[in-house]
Structure 1
Amino acid sequence: MSAVACRVAAGQADLDACFAVRKEVFVAEQGVPEDLEYDEYDGVAVHVLAVRADEGAPVGTGRLLTGAAAAVKNGDADPGVGALGRLAVLRSARGLGVGARLVAAIEDAARERGLHAVDLHAQTHALGFYERLGYEAYGAEFLDAGIPHLAMRKALR
C-alpha cells in the first residue's frame, strides 16, 4: 500500500468517506445495526479520515468528542477528557499502521483543543492494540451493540 495521510475531515465529501468506512467495517463486517452506528454525536464530533496519499481513496476513520458529548460518552464530567471512538480501518489496509496513525491524529486534535486525556471504549479483541499506544483499561467489561468492550484512558503529554 502507498503512504497514508490522516487529516481532520473538512466538508461533506470527507464526512461521507468517513461514514462509508464505518458502514463497511461496523455495519457490513461486524453486524452493528445502522441505527446504532450513526448517532447524535456525529454532528458535533471531530472526524478524522485516513486516505491513500497517492490517490485519496479512504482507508480509515475515527472521531473525537469533546465537551458535553465526551462527558456523556465517558461518564466523566472532566471537560479536559475527550472521547475517541468509531475507529475503523478497511480490511485491505489492516496491519499496515493505519489505525495507529489515526489514533495519533485524533490525539493531536485533542491536544489542539486543550484536552489532557482521551478515553475510549475498546472492543476487547483490540485491547492489545490500544495498550501498545499507551491506553490503560479500567472498569468492568460491558456490551455495546452486543460486542464486549472495556473503557480505556490515556493521559496526553
Structure 2
Amino acid sequence: MFEVKIAASEQEREAAFTVRKKVFVEEQGVPLSMEIDEHDTSADHFVVYDGPKAIAAGRIRTIASEVGKVERVCVLKEYRGQHLGVLIMNALEEHAKKTGIHKILLNAQSYAIPFYEKLGYAVTSPEFMDADIPHRAMEKQMESVI
C-alpha cells in the first residue's frame, strides 16, 4: 500500500531529496547544484512511501497570489507504471486548493507532456532547455474547494 505524506520532518525532506537525486542526478545527469536549490527551504515537499521506503517525490511552492508551481515530480525507475505520478499530483493539487492556490504552473519534461495533459494541464510555451533536457511550460486552473 502506497502512502503520500507532506514532509513534516527533516528526515522526510531528506527522503524526498534522496528520490530526487536518484532520478534527476544519477539517472538523468542533472547537476546536483541545479537539482537542490534555494526553493527547497520554502517549498512544501511530498513523498510517496512503499512501507518505509521513499519511492516518489514532488514539491509545490507559492510564486504569486493564488499561483503555485509544482516542481521536481519524480518516481523511482522500478516503481514507474503504477500510477504513482497521478497519486502525487493529486496530493499536490489537493494541498494547493487548501492553501488558496487557484492556478498551478509547472515545467514538464517534453516526454511527460501527455501525462500532465491527462491531468488537465495545458502547454503554454514553446520547447526550451533546462539542465540540457527539453521542457515546456504548462498550467492548470484549479477548481475552488467547496
Query: Counterparts of 2:35 and 2:134 in 1: how far apart (Å)?
Result: 15
The separation in 2 between residues aligned to 1:62 and 1:139, in whole angstroms, is 22
Render the CA deviation track for 1:17-65: whole Å, top value 9, x for unaligned.
Answer: 000000000000000000000100000000001001xx22111000001
> RMSD across aligned C-alpha pairs, in angstroms?
0.8
Deviation, structure 1 residue 81: 1.1
Instruction: Give the partner amino acid of 2:89.
Output: V
Task: State the partner residue of 2:60.
Answer: 64
Q: Which consecutive residues of structure 1, in runs of 5 or more, have no partner in the other structure?
A: 72-78
1:45 corresponds in structure 2 to: 43
**Aligned with residue 137 of structure 1, among 99, 123, 133:** 123
Runs of 4+ in 1 over 4 A off after TM superposition: none
2:113 corresponds to which of 100, 104, 127: 127
Q: Deviations over 1:71-125 (max 9, x none)?
A: 4xxxxxxx11100000010011100010110001011111111010111000000
| Structure 2: gaps spanning 5 or more residues | none
Output the TM-score relative to the length of structure 1. 0.89
Q: Which AA in structure 2 matches 1:45? A: A
> SS of the residue aligned with 2:26?
helix
Q: What's the % identity of the aligned pairs? A: 41
User: C-alpha distance in 2, partners of 1:23/1:43?
Assistant: 16
TM-score normalized with structure 2 length: 0.96
Aligned residue number for residue 31 of structure 2: 33
- Of 104, 126, 129, the match for 2:90: 104
Residue 23 (structure 1) aligned with residue 1 (structure 2): no
By how many angstroms is 1:139 displaced? 1.6
Q: Distance between the aligned counterparts of 2:129 and 2:95, measured in 1?
A: 28
Partner of 2:9: 11
Partners in 2 of 1:114 and 1:48 — Cα distance?
A: 18
